[in-house]
Every structure is written in structure tokens, then in C-alpha cells.
């Protein structure tokens, strides 16, 4: 063997560990976004690094740590600008220090102050202080691992709930709660939960949907690999389902 790779399908954002035991972590992952003025990837990465932080490519996003290994966030490209997406419960102190350092490294304000002020009015004390930052709070919006709308729609349908699709927005009802899945560009869907008498219960449903989505994705990847390998004249040497339900395919790649 000469190189060993770990890959994540484009349809999946491996950000969240769902599952019954992770409810608290999931609640804490409720997000708020701080749009920046960065338009180019290179400018974003250069400035963030100059400010003393990492800026690591992570699929179509970037990942930056702001407190050692413990606290990090993702940059996502929305409407032509890079947006810093923090967890609602992330340390305000670290976020503020990060923003101040980036502004200093850039030599100018890189975060839109007017948006912050609007959001402070909307969200009250939960928003960052009106220094030089901005925060577009997304109330009750939670991150998900889903990036493929078709696959999400199929998974929800097979799950037994009746999803309705309107463009890139998928809505459905679980018990008495309304769920709205929204996606910007090819970024992961966020789910907004309206009327949630029992958030823990909704989380358990979403965990099950997450499991089903990944199982569907495994099948999609398997079928796609077999079809594409054949197109490239690669032959299948062996195929095996392992005890952990993973599928192992060994392909001959010729000379």
C-alpha cells in the first residue's frame, strides 16, 4: 500500500455527532453567523493566519480554532462573502478576541457592524457586545450533516414523514413540530424547529434521520463506485460486507 485516504462524500458534512447520548452537545451547537467582508478564499486564509489562527480547508468550508483544540468554528461562503458560523454557546470572549485580532491583521473592520446592531435589537443580551462585530442570530436553527437535498428528501420520505419541497427548502412535520430544512449553495442544511414542546424528542427523530441518511448514502456511494469503476475499465476483484456493516470493494486498476 502506498497511500491511505480518509474521504467524506460531498453529500455529507461530518460535523455533528448525533445519537441519543449527544443531545446536550447538539443543543449547544445552535448557530449564529457573523458575516465578514472577505470575498476571496486566499484573502480569508492569509488574514486569519496573519492574525495568529489556523484556517484549514474543510470540504467547501474552512475551519478555524480560536481556543486551542477545544473551540473552533467553520467559515461558510454565503452570498459572495465568507461567514463565520459560531455555536451559540461558544465563548463570547474568545469570539470577540478573534474578531479584534482579524480586524487588526486586516488593518480594517472585516465584520459588518450594522448587521450586529440589528441583531442585538432582535436578540437582546445574547448577542455580542456592540464593539466591532456582527451577529446574524438564527433562532432555533441547528446544524445538520445533510448536504444533498435529493437524498435528504428521499430519506425523510422513507422515514415515513411527508416532506414537502419548495426549491432548496424542505419542510415536514414530526408530531406537533414543524421542521424546515434550508440550504445555502452547497453548504450543509440547517434545520429550523418551530413549535417544539419537547426538543429532546425532536433530536431523537433527527438522530434517526441522520442514521438513515448515512445508510442511504452508503448505498448511493457503493452503486456509484461500481458503475464508475466499470466505465473506467476497472475490474472488481472482491466485494465483502463486514461485521460493522461496512462494504469493502477491491478494484484492479491495471497497469
C-alpha grid cell, residue 223: 452503486
Largest CA distance in the chain: 65
- Please report, as ranges, the residues that interact with another protein according to CB under 8 A: 1-12, 14, 58-59, 213-215, 217-218, 221-222, 224-225, 228-229, 232, 234, 237, 242, 244-255
Q: How far is the CB of 189 from another protein (least distance, A)?
A: 15
Among positive and negative, which fits the CA dihedral 139, 143, 20, 71? negative
d(CA 229, CA 239): 13
Residue placing its CB nearer to another protein in the complex, 199 or 225: 225
Kindly provide the residue ranges of all beta strands, DSSP E only, lying in 168-234, ordered along the sequence. Answer: 169-174, 177-182, 190-194
Residue placing its CB nearer to another protein in the complex, 79 or 245: 245
Q: How far is the CB of 196 from another protein (least distance, A)?
A: 26
d(CA 151, CA 75): 24
Q: How far is the CB of 63 from another protein (least distance, A)?
A: 11
d(CA 43, CA 50): 10
Q: How far is the CB of 59 from another protein (least distance, A)?
A: 5
**What is the residue whose three cell numbers read 478576541?**
97
**What is the residue whose three cell numbers read 459572495?**
80
Residue placing its CB nearer to another protein in the complex, 176 or 252: 252
Residue placing its CB nearer to another protein in the complex, 1 or 121: 1
Q: How far is the CB of 214 from another protein (least distance, A)?
A: 4
CB atoms near residue 167 (< 10 Å)? 8
Residue placing its CB nearer to another protein in the complex, 52 or 185: 185
Amino acid at each position: 500500500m502506498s497511500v491511505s485516504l480518509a474521504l467524506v462524500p460531498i453529500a455529507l458534512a461530518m460535523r455533528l455527532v448525533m445519537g441519543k447520548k449527544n443531545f446536550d452537545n447538539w443543543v449547544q451547537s445552535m448557530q449564529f453567523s457573523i458575516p465578514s467582508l472577505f470575498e476571496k478564499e486566499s484573502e480569508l486564509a492569509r488574514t486569519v493566519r496573519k492574525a495568529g489562527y489556523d484556517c484549514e480547508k474543510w470540504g467547501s468550508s474552512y475551519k478555524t480554532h480560536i481556543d486551542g483544540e477545544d473551540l473552533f468554528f467553520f467559515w461558510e461562503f454565503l452570498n459572495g462573502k465568507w461567514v463565520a458560523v459560531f455555536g451559540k454557546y461558544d465563548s463570547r470572549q474568545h469570539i470577540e478576541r478573534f474578531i479584534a485580532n482579524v480586524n487588526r491583521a486586516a488593518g480594517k473592520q472585516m465584520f459588518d457592524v450594522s448587521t450586529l446592531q440589528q441583531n442585538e435589537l432582535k436578540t437582546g443580551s445574547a448577542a455580542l457586545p456592540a464593539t466591532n462585530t456582527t451577529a446574524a442570530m438564527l433562532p432555533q436553527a441547528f446544524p445538520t450533516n445533510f448536504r444533498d437535498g435529493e437524498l435528504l428528501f428521499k430519506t425523510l420520505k422513507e422515514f415515513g414523514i411527508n416532506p414537502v419541497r419548495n426549491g432548496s427548502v424542505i419542510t415536514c412535520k414530526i408530531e406537533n413540530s414543524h421542521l424546515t430544512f434550508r440550504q445555502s449553495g452547497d453548504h450543509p442544511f440547517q434545520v429550523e424547529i418551530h413549535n417544539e414542546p419537547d426538543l429532546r424528542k425532536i433530536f431523537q427523530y433527527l438522530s434517526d434521520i441522520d442514521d438513515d441518511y448515512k445508510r442511504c448514502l452508503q448505498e448511493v456511494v457503493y452503486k456509484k463506485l461500481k458503475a464508475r469503476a466499470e466505465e473506467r475499465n476497472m475490474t472488481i476483484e472482491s466485494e465483502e460486507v463486514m461485521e460493522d456493516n461496512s462494504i469493502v470493494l477491491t478494484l484492479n486498476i491495471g497497469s
